[in-house]
Amino acid sequence: MSSYEVNTVELSLQGTPTKTVTLAPERATIVRELADVPIKAGPNKIIISGFDNRVDFDSLRVTGHGPATITDIQTSVVLRDEDFDDLYPDEDSTGEEIDSEDPDDTFGVDRSELDSVIAEIKEISAKLAYLDNDKVSSTQSLAFLDSYGRSMHAKDLEAVQVAEYIDVYQRKRSDLRETYEKAEVQITEFNEKKEKLERKRERLEERFEVERDRAAKPSRKERKAKLKQKELKEKKKREARADISSFWNIYTGRVTVHIEGHGDGTLPQDRRDSASSVKKPDINDDITLSLTYVTSAARWTPRYDLMLNTPTSSGSLVYRAEYYNRSCETWKDTNVILSTSQTTFSGVDEHIPILLPWNVALRKHEVMEVEVATDTIPSKKMSNWTGALRASAEGVEAKQYRKSKSMNENAPVRYSPPWPTNSSTQPLPAAPPSVARGLFGSAAPFGANETERQSLTVHQVQGQQMMQQVHAQSAPRYQLFGGSANNDQRTSAFGFGNAAPSHPDGANNDEDEDFDDDDDQIDDDASTIQGSANVLAFRQSSRHDYGLTTTYNVPGSRTLQPSSHVRRHIIAEIELSSMTFSHVIIPKLKPAAFLKARVTNTSTTPLLRGKAGLTVDDAFLGKATIPNCNPGVPFNLNLGVDPAIQVIYSKPKVRRATTGYFNKEDCAIFTRVCRINNTKSSPVSLVVLDQIPVSEDERIRVRLIEPKGLDKGDSAKIGADVSIDPKRAKDWGKGTVHINKDGEIKWVITLQKTVDIRLILEYEAKIPSGLEVVGL
């Protein structure tokens, strides 16, 4: 080997074709093939430059074909040897020169009469010039004679000479005068004739220009179109060059491949057994190198166009890929493959709030100086429920403030003034408009605008989890029908607006399993969607599945230049043949109906998590997120608040229940009413969620009174008494009510159009005298 000199070959990736580009959601895998690489027998060094400096060189693989052995591979990032202008010169305008002005052409318009008039004008102008010359000649000749006569002296001339001169002078003067006057008359005549001809020429020229302009319009239009097309083409070239220059880097990746050439055509000893033939010895030879590497400067992301139709429960989905190349490499004439082998997506959407168990406990009662008014309970007895029924600034809210301040000094804390002291026989006072109080929060009356509804929203939580959730959910969120939930909430103890805390992360971890029970019932009413016709077709990708990986081959070959623009390709057009719409109402947290769509992926194409442009009933609403969804699997889409379903959540009513004299217990009955009005012109499916407190202390006894006939885990049909209008008692709709072990009450209802119903939640709570209820 030492007898050979190292043969060095320098190659550049600029302008070389690319075999395949496999785009994944996070990176791209590039396969290049360099053919006819010249080598010599002995050691060879192949230097390949032009790699993007963001290439992951740990992923580089070099293979090839030919009578040689790869002995070493080296990678580095170096300064470029060439300038950008050398690789992408700023070419001057080339091609056909296009004049912006009209050519000297008649465009088929007759101008013979005009030319005749112009010829006459020229002829008269020539005659006028001749006559002007006669006038000038006559004047100058006469002046010469006068000058000559004055220069003569009598002493030098004889009388005969003088007489001869006078005779000549008189004759010449008479002739010159005649010539001058004749020229004057002719000049006047020719000038008048010329003026007439000039006016005629102006008229003929004006008429000719109008006719010529009319005849030249098609040619002028075509010429302007060509000129505009040429300018546009040059502009695109400049923009493309500027776009490429924005990704240009003075550093480039370099790969050095050390190869041992077999001059005699033989293979190494460890490969001879697999060789079928031996080539005759040759000093020079050609090999083919294949380069495979990964870069993070190119990728693809899934995007969707989701169109829903609520009256017919129909929809369609356009699944497309958006991909780009933001490296400094140009992948010429390559096959583009979209791979889903690295589908790592993340994001948090707004979810429908979820009721969690509401746990309460006891603590020793402390005497309160402030009386709390109720319907029938005297203030002395009512003091045991004070912690559950009031939220004074120094009571619950001050504790919340201290807790929140210890967690986050910058966390926003809101205060409300204490309730006024009233007689014990008066009704329970209402909370200020901006604070929702009561077991399930207050609600706006029918006709209230969205802002008023939002100001009455209640998110009840407890302890640090409550404060964390309030801080996390303080930002407004986009909803389908406008508005955002206002999370201006207050915490109180048993009986007034203390909702169970949500998930610690503030989101639903499994959206598809949140309401599986009601979704299964709603799915029974799913309708089939008819396919659309007479639409333009798109070239869709061929799909290949291998294990957990799905790839889509983009048809044809593409050239991917560095660009900030995103390229799009439609993967599939899917008709959604299984779709239902339902409403979820959680009046304790927000007196509103959340519209939810449950869509089943009825195609054979798995869907990746990605953003979707959402169109509902021919109105574009914004963007939603479609989760990962395999064929045959449903997914839920939260579409915000539907104002056509009006919800009123009444203020709490608390009354004292009769107990035995020796029981030494305080007993109270709590009542809340949720009123729902369907103003739509069609029936709707509703899921209404509420809750009663769950005791962690056996001394606290909670018993559900309304809905009747329910024990933990039981369910019952909803009777006709829920209809507010007695005339609609038979055809208000249908539904069932169910209670879970965690105290959650669930109404699953099919509500007919223009029906107003009332759902009552009533429960009894007993605690030992001298103690008060606190939330955990």
For the stretch 86-100, pLDDT in tens is 777 776 555 556 555
DSSP of 138-185: HHHHHHHHHHHHHT--GGGS-HHHHHHHHHHHHHHHHHHHHHHHHHHH
Q: 603 is written with which tokens?
A: 């195609």
DSSP of 670-693: EEEEEEEEE-SSS-EEEEEEEE--
Distance (Å, whole) CA 358 – CA 671 = 17
Question: What local confidence, expressed as pLDDT, does residue 90 receive?
Answer: 72
Q: 400 is written with which tokens?
A: 């919340």
For the stretch 442-465, pLDDT in tens is 333 333 333 333 333 333 333 333
Q: Mapped to the 3 state alphabet, what secondary structure does 258-311 carry? A: EEEECCCCCCCHHHHCCCCCCCCCCCEEEEEEEEEEEECCEEEEEEEEEEEECC
- Which of 387-391, 410-414, 741-745 is predicted least confidently? 410-414
Question: What local confidence, expressed as pLDDT, does residue 70 receive?
Answer: 92
Q: Do strands 298-309 and 314-325 pair parallel, antiparallel, or not at all (unpaired)?
A: antiparallel
For the stretch 142-157, pLDDT in tens is 888 888 777 777 677 7
Question: What local confidence, expressed as pLDDT, does residue 389 receive?
Answer: 43
Pick the more confident residue, 197 or 172. Answer: 197
Q: 706 is written with which tokens?
A: 């309304």
For the stretch 105-145, pLDDT in tens is 677 778 888 888 899 999 999 988 988 888 888 888 888 88
Question: What local confidence, expressed as pLDDT, does residue 661 receive?
Answer: 61
Percent of the chain past pLDDT 90, that is, above it, reads 15
Output phi, psi for 732, to 5 deg: -70, -30
Question: What local confidence, expressed as pLDDT, does residue 521 receive?
Answer: 38
Question: What local confidence, expressed as pLDDT, does residue 655 receive?
Answer: 85
pLDDT over 80 at 302, yes or no: yes
Average pLDDT over residues 63-80: 90
Helix ranges (H only) for 326-411 are 379-382, 386-389, 396-407
Question: What local confidence, expressed as pLDDT, does residue 646 receive?
Answer: 92
Question: What local confidence, expressed as pLDDT, does residue 440 receive?
Answer: 32
Residue 364's pLDDT band (cuts 50, 70, 90): low
- To 5 degrees, how large is the angle CA 573–CA 577–CA 579? 115
Average pLDDT over residues 277-282: 44
DSSP of 429-459: PPPPTTS--SSS---PPTT--HHHHHHT---
Average pLDDT over residues 419-436: 34
**Whole-number mean pLDDT of the chain?**
72
Residue 3's pLDDT band (cuts 50, 70, 90): low
- To 5 degrees, how large is the angle CA 412–CA 414–CA 416? 175
Average pLDDT over residues 260-280: 54
pLDDT over 70 at 540, yes or no: no
The answer to whether the pTM exceeds 0.85 is: no
Considering 17-31, 71-85, 158-172, 517-531, the range whose residues carry the highest mean pLDDT is 17-31
For the stretch 463-509, pLDDT in tens is 333 333 333 333 333 333 333 333 333 333 333 333 333 333 333 33
Count CB-CB contacts under 10 A for residue 768: 15
Residue 195's pLDDT band (cuts 50, 70, 90): very high
Percent of the chain past pLDDT 70, that is, above it, reads 67
For the stretch 212-222, pLDDT in tens is 888 878 877 88
Domains of the chain, residue spans: 112-218, 300-351+508-643, 378-497+646-775
Q: 171 is written with which tokens?
A: 């004759």
Q: Is the bond preceding 707 in cis, omega lying within 30 degrees of 0?
A: yes
Q: Residue 644 contacts by C-beta under 8 Å, 6 or more apart in sequence?
A: 678, 679, 680
For the stretch 572-589, pLDDT in tens is 888 888 888 889 999 999
pLDDT over 60 at 522, yes or no: no
Q: What are the residues facing 56 on neighbouring strands?
A: 294
